[in-house]
Homo-oligomer: A and B are copies of this chain.
Amino acid sequence: MSEDKETSLLGRKFSRRTALTLAGTFGAGMALGGGGALSARELAEGDQTVEFYGEHQAGIATPQQDRLHFAAFDLTVSKAEEIRDLMRAWSDAAARMCAGKSVGGGNDAFVPPEDTGEAQDLTAGRLTVTFGFGPTLFEKDGKDRFGLASRKPEALQEIPDLPGDNLDPELSGGDVCVQACADDPQVAFHAVRNLARIGRGAAVIRWSQLGFGRTSSTSSAQKTPRNLMGFKDGTNNIRAEDEDLMDNYVWVREGPAWMQSGTYLVARRIRMLIEIWDRSPLLEQEQTIGRHRASGAPLGKEDEYDKVDLEAKGPDGLPLIPMDSHIRLARKDQRERILRRGYSFTDGMDSKTGQLDAGLFFISFQRDPHRQFVPLQRRLGQNDRLTEYIQHTGSAVFACPPGVRRGGFAGESLLA
Chain A residues close to B by CB (< 8 Å): 7, 39, 41-42, 45, 48, 69, 107-113, 115-123, 125, 170, 183-187, 189, 193, 196-197, 204-205, 207-210, 212-214, 216-222, 226-231, 274, 278-283, 285-286, 293-294, 344, 346-349, 351, 354, 356, 358
Contacts and interface: CB of A to CB of B under 8 A. Distances in A.
Contact of A221 (B121, B349, B358): B121
A300 to B, nearest CB: 13
**Chain A's interface: helix, strand, loop or mixed, by majority?**
loop
A279 B116 CA distance: 10
Contacts of A122: 216, 218-219, 222
A107 B117 CA distance: 48
A354 B196 CA distance: 12
B42 A109 contact: no
A111 B281 contact: yes
A121 B208 contact: no
A181 to B, nearest CB: 13
Contact of A42 (B185, B219, B351): B219
Given A123-B216, A230-B118, A186 B344 contact: yes
A183 B184 CA distance: 11
Contacts of A108: 281-282
Copies in the complex: 2
Contact of A118 (B7, B229, B351): B229
B204 A107 contact: no
A110 B283 contact: yes
Given A118-B227, A189-B358, A214-B186, A282 B107 contact: yes
B111 A221 contact: no
Ranked 3 nearest A-B pairs via Cβ? A117-B230, A109-B283, A185-B212
Contacts of A209: 348
Given A116-B229, A205-B356, 8 more contacts: A39-B221, A109-B283, A112-B280, A117-B231, A186-B226, A193-B356, A196-B356, A208-B356
23 contacts: A45-B219, A107-B293, A108-B282, A109-B283, A112-B282, A116-B229, A116-B230, A116-B274, A117-B230, A118-B226, A118-B229, A118-B344, A121-B226, A122-B219, A122-B222, A123-B219, A125-B218, A186-B213, A189-B228, A197-B278, A205-B356, A207-B348, A217-B217
A205 to B, nearest CB: 6
A41 B221 CA distance: 7
A348 B70 CA distance: 10
A229 B117 contact: yes
A387 to B, nearest CB: 19
Contact of A348 (B216, B280, B283, B347): B347
Given A121-B222, A219-B122, A226-B120, A294 B186 contact: no
A204 B219 CA distance: 32
A184 to B, nearest CB: 4
Contact of A218 (B48, B348, B354): B48
Contacts of A69: 346
A212 B226 contact: no
